[in-house]
Structure 1
Amino acid sequence: MREYQSLLVEQQGAIAHVMINRPAKANSMDEAFWTEMVEVFDWVDRTDSVRVAVISGVGRNFSAGIDLQMLAQAAGSMVADIGRNAERIRRNILKLQSAFNAVDECRKPVIAAVHGYCIGGAIDLISACDMRYCTPDAHFSIKEIDMGMAADVGTLQRLPRLIGDGIMRELAYTGRPVYGEEAARIGLVNQVFADHGALLEGVMDIARQIAAKSPLAIRGTKEMIRYSRDHSVADGLNYIATWNAAMLQSEDLKVAVAAHMSKKPAEFAD
């Protein structure tokens, strides 16, 4: 178990369980959170024994989004010159974006397990994950609109590719809440579990299934999905041909075929 100021990280076999750990503050994202996310997901990315990451929240909520005290401190640091303020704000936004880019760009699949509040910056976070699961009482909201601002850490860029443009615009323009069953209906989450315990058990089971696969095959699959999101079909086909020209020579392919023929579980190197 690794304990940070805002996060708890536990490696359970091949699974890294990353827990947002500010339950007294509804797991709101303070200044330390943004730096620690980059550090933790750099560790996940480069640690070969970790094959999957799960993100959840300690206590009653996943996360209530960015800590408002952090926003107040940023507002209090403004100077008289508009240009210098703009440069400072832009730099700060890019720093926040890097925390969730680290999740999106991680070589390993990342799964979000959501219960309670998942609002504002927490939507940005789960939008950067590979899959999302929740409880019936999970409360999703693009809350930035009610704070007089546009979401700026990834929601508006990633969410339309998950739930479709029209429903994303409705949620972004109104800030209305979405709960578990509707979240599943619109494709925001893959599945709704009965309660928090069942959620974690179910998500960990899915993570174990992924961890049992060839890590090279999982790596290639995530890379191709991410690449195809931002490129044409022709570009994606060309890339996978080049990628697999190397990866199909891996020992993992031989191990997988032998396991399939013998009807025994495959065991892949990290």
Structure 2
Amino acid sequence: MILIPVIAALHGVAFGGGLQIALGSDIRFATPDTRLSVMEIRWGLIPDMSGMALMRTLVRDDVVRELTWTGRQVLGEEAARLGLVTGLSADPYETAMALAKDIATKSPTAIRASKRLLNCVPDSDQHEILLMETEEQVLLMGSANQKEALLAHTEKRDPMFSD
């Protein structure tokens, strides 16, 4: 598993494996006219590379079925409505980079901890999630990066994290 946020910028087409790679990212930005499709059905295949599992965490079950069984192309605007992409941008690369720069100003240990938790949520019940949150929070509280985040906020300066 990649321990840092993965942000995808989609432009042009994201068909088949390209769509599945994009779905594997944490956040996806696309142009309104980006074309996305689960194309495998056209070749007598099914999505692999965890494509179905990833789609089912983002899109309603009936929509996943329709897209998988038809291979229908959707434009970026519809993809955003469906939840396949996080947002639309005329320049998704620039939008992705701006978000990455913002995230990079936050505590890297807190980012990694939250990503671990978010990756476990779909497979965990409420009790398991609360236990995992507690375990992660105990590790973060009083850590060097957590202290630096508080100090930087108090001193109204940018934080200088240790990793």
Structure 2 counterpart of 1:114, which letter?
A: L
Q: CA offset at residue 208 of structure 1?
A: 0.3
Give the ranges of 4+ consecutive aligned residues of structure 1 lying more than 2 Å apart after TM superposition: none
Aligned to 1:137: 33
Output aligned runs, 1:6-155, within 5 Å.
105-155=1-51
Q: Which has the higher contact order (CA 8 A, sep 6+)?
A: 2
Give the 3-state SS of the residue equivalent to 1:136 in structure 2.
Answer: coil
TM-score of the aligned structures, taking structure 2 as reference length: 0.95
Aligned to 1:245: 138
TM-score of the aligned structures, taking structure 1 as reference length: 0.58
In structure 2, the gaps of 5 or more residues are: none
Q: Give distance in 2, aligned partners of 1:232 and 1:126.
A: 27
1:156 correspondence with 2:55: no
Give the 3-state SS of the residue equivalent to 2:28 in structure 1.
Answer: strand
Q: CA offset at residue 244 of structure 1?
A: 2.2
Identity of aligned residues (%): 37
Q: Give distance in 1, aligned partners of 2:66 and 2:78.
A: 14
Q: How many residue pairs align between the two structures?
A: 163
Contact 1:118 1:138 in 2 (8 A): yes
Bigger radius of gyration: 1
Q: CA offset at residue 193 of structure 1?
A: 1.2
From 114, 119, 137, the equivalent of 1:226 is 119
Contact 1:124 1:153 in 2 (8 A): yes
RMSD across aligned positions (CA): 1.1
1:183-219 per-residue CA deviation (whole Å, 9 max, x = no partner) reads: 111111121112xxx2211110000001111000000
Aligned to 2:154: 261
